[in-house]
Amino acid sequence: MTKERKFQIAGLLETPQALFHKEQLLQQVTGKTILVTGAAGSIGSEIVKQLLQYIPEKILLVDVAEMPLHKLCLKLEGIQKVTELIPYLVDIKDENLMQPIFATHQPEIVYHAAANKHVPLLEGFPYQAIQNNVLGTKIVADLAIAFHVKTFLFISTDKAVNPSSIMGASKRIAEQYIQAVNEISSDSNFIITRFGNVFGSSGSVGPIFSRQIKVGGPVTITHPEMERYFMTLTQACELVLESGAMGKGGEIFMFDMGEPIRIEDLARQMIIAAGLIPEKDVKIEWIGLRPGEKLQEDLTTEYDILVETTHSKIKWVQSKRNYQNTKKIKEINYFLLHLSSRQEVEIVKEMKRLVPEFKSRNSAHATLD
């Protein structure tokens, strides 16, 4: 039996770790009350772990998943005893439960990581995608304004750029809402971060390939030309915290993720790293593009340019488009208000109206373009 070998994903992806300005974060985080949504997820839990280095007074751990939240609390109890950790088993879409959290603790910083993110699955559930990714974001953002949160960091995705999926389009609508409320908020600074796939996160290709290799294959890949940008979990969350410290409000920050990686190349390298030979010990099987997927992700739309910042790994997405913020808020609120009465086709049509660059790769929705 072949012994499984471990490898360093940072070296495999050839992506250097971030240069980190810790003084800014110390000033922003130390002694503060912080709320993290999606706290039990891959990104949320890593954000919490990194925040503990800067000794906030308390961290409010908000998640709807019971066992992952319980496991996170057990894990964090063994790391430190200084920061107070307060778990909340709460759905961000339930304003009646979210409001008392803000009222009781008055958080100064919010990291909003909660989201539905599985691209093919959400193609069949646009209502649920909008409910969680847009309505949930709206509720948390509105509460941040009402309770004078100083910094609100929204974690988005490169799939929101020229979206081809329900997931990407829902995140773009949430971005629009965040940008609009930033313009009308006098106390709160809203910042958006975008980055690609986090290797090793829940549901990502890394763990899937690892499981397939472990049982002898086949490793399933959608298309020979499929490419994705990848980051390590540690690096992505470092840059999230850095963006929150350096942002002034209204920015969309895109992380420098290096060159895109061909999924086939990644699979072959992982097979070799396991001490096996591609196609001999572990077969590769082509299964075709899934609904909502595109071959390559974009970093900008035709209206955007990437501008350098003071951090070498963080770019500012500067847009030539000017939205009427009050109108955009009204449009999104109207969409959400009437969401439950709409059929799937009507929901997707409205998403395409709100995000004109949304070109569906799902045959069931493509005729609505």
Sign of the C-alpha dihedral computed for residues 180, 181, 185 and 190 taken in this order: negative
Q: Tokens for 221?
A: 């890949």
Altogether, the residues listed in the chain come to a count of 369
Q: Find, among 201, 206, 231, 200, the residue nearest to 219 by Cα.
A: 206
Q: Which residue is catalytic, options 32, 138, 159, 294? A: 159
Q: Please, are residues 132 and 91 in contact by the beta-carbon 8 Å criterion?
A: no
Q: Please, are residues 365 and 343 in contact by the beta-carbon 8 Å criterion?
A: no
Helix (H) or strand (E) holding 22: helix 22-29
Q: Please, are residues 132 and 57 in contact by the beta-carbon 8 Å criterion?
A: no
How far is the CA of 187 from the CAs of 2, 145, 166, 180, in angstroms? 59, 7, 32, 14
Could you give the CA distance from residue 189 to residue 182 in angstroms, rounded to a whole number?
A: 6
- The question of whether 159 is a catalytic residue gets the answer yes
Q: Tokens for 297?
A: 């992700």
Q: Please, are residues 131 and 339 in contact by the beta-carbon 8 Å criterion?
A: yes
Could you give the CA distance from residue 169 to residue 86 in angstroms, rounded to a whole number?
A: 33
Q: Tokens for 148?
A: 């004078």
Catalytic residues: 159
